[in-house]
Amino acid sequence: MNKQEELIARCKQGDPSAYTELYHEHVGAVYNSIIRLVRHTAEAEDILQESFVAAFQGIAGFTPTVGFRAWVKKIAINKSIDWIRKQKISFVELESHFMGISEDAGIDEAAFQYTMDAIAAAIELLPDHYRTIFNLYAIENIPHGEIAHLLGLENTTARTQYHRAKQKLLMILTKGG
């Protein structure tokens, strides 16, 4: 039994120190996933706590087919998306808001040769709807179909929004926005 399995077994037995250790082992990665979507520190911290509470309340049913971190991150992402829905962020734009981005325009993927700091800063400048879909797909590796389902969009809309987010990101990186 590895350390992770041991901690989970101890959590299932109600050992408070195991909960604490498991929390501290994964809190950073889970918080990073939340803050990329939510961007409001206080809300992100609330979602973080709610996510771990939900994970620990459901730990009895946890099976290690996926790692604990992946499991709690999925809980956190779902809670983040619930928060986004409550904010009524629109994922469908009017044509006048496309900022000159054409769906048919090609994108030079090789142009994405920038420092991580520059890319992270550019992602922060994306409009909320673009940033959310970009982070879910490119950073969290959630498939377009699942993103569409989570956000209540058509599959093609999720793909189009991701494509536009990449184009806007490239514009920000190359032209300053």
User: pTM surpassing 0.85?
Assistant: no
Alpha-carbon distances, residue 100 vs 95, 119, 167 (angstroms): 9, 21, 10
Q: How far apart are CA 61 and CA 17, in angstroms?
A: 20
> Rounded CA gap, 125 and 16, in Å?
41
- What does the DSSP 8-state code read for residue 61? G
Among residues 35, 46, 3, 48, the alpha carbon closest in space to that of 22 is found at 3
CATH architecture of structural domain 3-86: Orthogonal Bundle (1.10)
pLDDT tens column, 57-68: 999 988 877 789
In whole angstroms, what is the distance from residue 109 CA to residue 33 CA?
24
Write the pLDDT tens digit of every residue in 69-100: 989 999 999 999 889 888 766 555 444 444 44
The full set of domain ranges for the chain reads 3-86, 95-175
Residue 27 confidence (pLDDT) above 80: yes
CATH number for domain 95-175, candidates 1.25.40, 1.10.10, 1.20.120, 1.10.357: 1.10.10
